[in-house]
Amino acid sequence: MSDITKQSLTELVENIKNKKLSSTDVTKAFIDRSEKSGELNAYITNDFTSALDKAKKFDQKPNLDSKLPGIPMAVKDLFCTKNIKTTAGSKILNNFVPTYESTVTENIWNEGAILLGKLNCDEFAMGSSNETSFFGNVQSPIDKNLVPGGSSGGSASAVAGQLTPVTIGTDTGGSIRQPASFTGIVGLKPTYGSCSRYGIVAFASSLDQAGPMAQNVKDCALLHEVISSYDPKDSTSIDFKRNHYSKDLSNNIKGKKIGIPKEYRVDGMPKEIEDLWQKGIQCIKDCGAETIDISLPNTSYALPTYYIVAPAEASSNLARYDGVKYGFRAKGENLIDMYEKTRSEGFGAEVQRRIMIGTYVLSSGYYDAYYLKAQKVRKLIKNDFDEAYKKVDAILTPSTPSSAFKIGEKTNDPVSMYLNDIFTVPVNLAGLPGISIPAGHDSKGYPLGLQIIGKAFDEQNILNIAFAMEEKINFKNKITDWWIK
Ligand code: GLN
């Protein structure tokens, strides 16, 4: 069967189940394409040889009742994978081989999937362009000169470039939705507490969530169904009744009320983004749902709040990298000198900037003025959503304030880089689910995404809205395969 890598996850699962394809055929096809993708730099570590072995073993004794039977899959290098190097895109973890598996990846392998390798990302998931990775930047399969977004840039590039049928990323302030939007794919950030954080390299623990990235909404629903589970090993994991997200998927959204928040019409927003949003509003109406103007008055405080809370938590989480227990160690004259050299040589500039901001806002004397204040504003942002959800079932916004930018365009201006997250961070601060779906192209032909934000634990509803819109929008990604010689 030709063009295996063009098939969706759902099609591959079906074809393996009805024996039209073997796991070996599928795994070989994705390995072959991944091997040609060096220029994209989407992988940090590949595990192709053992992936092929596992595929052959699967074919000898296939478990066709599993949800991901013999499906090869690469994952972001922020998920601990037992006996496979896990770097978080950092020099400080360049030699780290976990002795345990993250719960979400464990869930994936338990359903029959096979690890292809570990995907590039911004260092400790701090970034919006995949340019802070110690392992070099990732290029977009859309255009050689474009960033794929970040921090799950390798993941986005790998799905859009068909190096893996689907993947998982993590989203602390937009790292699934923004790269999904930049590369024309679907990305879901689940409700905080829906997917276990156990075994994920921590960035900002009260914001981090794992989530699926896929070519279409159905695949995204299927992968979410696999990774979302209650886990006693994560004290913030929540025990609630989870849907069969893919089986329960429905494009009937008649009568749903969708909020359009006026505060997301930010100053200087390009006309193309405004037009896309209008197109989304029309699409919602064509699907038989109703749109309602709403207000989320504290939206403009979300970005400054995020850039206090996230670095504060990061500075605390990253204190563990001291060159003693694991990871890179620099030589020093004495213990303190060793700590200092390890951390200044092991962490890149962006991570050091966040650690400095974080320790500053947590220091006595500034704690009340910054950290405590940010926590209060965070609550106000959450209250805005609670208020809105008394009137509406979900909210529609653009995913990002622009299409993908050029490699190097924003590297010297961290604030303009941070502005990229303006539409995504409020969702993490409030702990809500949000999904980005490809919805159009800008004048240069680059993809643009729309975001649907849901109530807590209402993933099924936003998946359904995304599913209905996807059908109407009928987006076609323009992948040129420029990297294949
Ligand atoms: N771009 C944001 C940041 O740099 C979000 C990152 C993320 O979601 N991991 O913090």
DSSP string, 255-280: T-EEEEEGGGS-TT--HHHHHHHHHH
Q: Tell whether ligand 1 has an atom less than 6 A from the beta carbon of residue 131.
A: no
pLDDT in tens, 296-354: 999 999 999 999 999 999 999 999 999 999 899 999 999 999 999 999 999 999 999 99
Q: Tell whether ligand 1 has an atom less than 6 A from the beta carbon of residue 317.
A: no
Q: Which residues of 109-121 are buried (b: 16+ CB within 10 A; e: fewer)?
A: bebbbbbbbbbbb
Q: Which residues of 218-253 are buried (b: 16+ CB within 10 A; e: fewer)?
A: bbbbbbbbbbbbebeebeebeeeebbebbeebebeb
Q: Tell whether ligand 1 has an atom less than 6 A from the beta carbon of residue 89.
A: no
pLDDT of residue 60: 98
In a domain, 206, yes or no: yes
The mean pLDDT of the chain is 97
Instruction: Identify the three-state secondary structure at position 363.
Output: coil
Q: Tell whether ligand 1 has an atom less than 6 A from the beta carbon of residue 123.
A: no
Q: Kindly give the number of the ligand 1 atom that is closest to the alpha carbon of 204.
A: 9
In a domain, 295, yes or no: no
CA atoms within 13 A on the CB side of 191: 22
For the segment 76-98, the average pLDDT, to the nearest whole number, is 98
The verdict on whether 22 is a catalytic residue reads: no
Share of the chain above pLDDT 70, in %: 100
Active-site residue identified among 102, 152, 155, 175: 175
Contact 358, 314 (CB under 8 A): yes
In a domain, 278, yes or no: no
Active-site residue identified among 23, 54, 67, 76: 76
The verdict on whether 300 is a catalytic residue reads: no
Distance CA 345, CA 215 (A): 38
* Structural domain boundaries, residue 140: 4-259+390-473
Contact 114, 70 (CB under 8 A): yes
* Residue nearest to ligand 1 atom 10, measured at CA: 126
For the segment 65-83, the average pLDDT, to the nearest whole number, is 98
> Which letter does DSSP use for residue 81 in this model?
B
Q: Kindly give the number of the ligand 1 atom that is closest to the alpha carbon of 425.
A: 5
* Residue nearest to ligand 1 atom 4, measured at CA: 127
Distance CA 187, CA 215 (A): 9
Pocket test for ligand 1, best of 121, 130, 147, 175 (most atoms within 8 A of CB): 175
Share of the chain above pLDDT 90, in %: 95
In a domain, 273, yes or no: no
In a domain, 327, yes or no: no
pLDDT in tens, 399-448: 999 999 999 999 888 888 888 899 999 999 999 999 999 999 999 999 99
> Is pLDDT at 25 greater than 60 in this prediction?
yes
In a domain, 353, yes or no: no
The verdict on whether 443 is a catalytic residue reads: no
Phi and psi at residue 245, to the nearest 5°: -55, -35
Pocket test for ligand 1, best of 78, 119, 128, 400 (most atoms within 8 A of CB): 128
pLDDT of residue 191: 98
In a domain, 364, yes or no: no
Active-site residue identified among 34, 128, 151, 436: 151
Q: Which residues of 58-86 are buried (b: 16+ CB within 10 A; e: fewer)?
A: bbeebeeebbbbbbbbbbbbbbbbbebbb
In a domain, 216, yes or no: yes
Pocket test for ligand 1, best of 413, 421, 425, 427 (most atoms within 8 A of CB): 421
Structure tokens at 345: 């040589």
> Is pLDDT at 248 greater than 80 in this prediction?
yes
Q: Check which CATH number belongs to the domain holding 217 and give it.
A: 3.90.1300.10
Ligand 1 centroid – CA 312 distance (Å): 14
Ligand 1 centroid – CA 212 distance (Å): 16
pLDDT of residue 88: 98
Pocket test for ligand 1, best of 77, 78, 120, 122 (most atoms within 8 A of CB): 122
Q: What is the DSSP string of 441-484?
A: E-TTS-EEEEEEEE-TT-HHHHHHHHHHHHHHH--------TT-
For the segment 171-179, the average pLDDT, to the nearest whole number, is 98
Confidence of residue 2 (pLDDT cuts 50, 70, 90): low
Ligand 1 centroid – CA 171 distance (Å): 7
Instruction: Report the domain count for the chain.
Output: 1
pLDDT of residue 205: 98
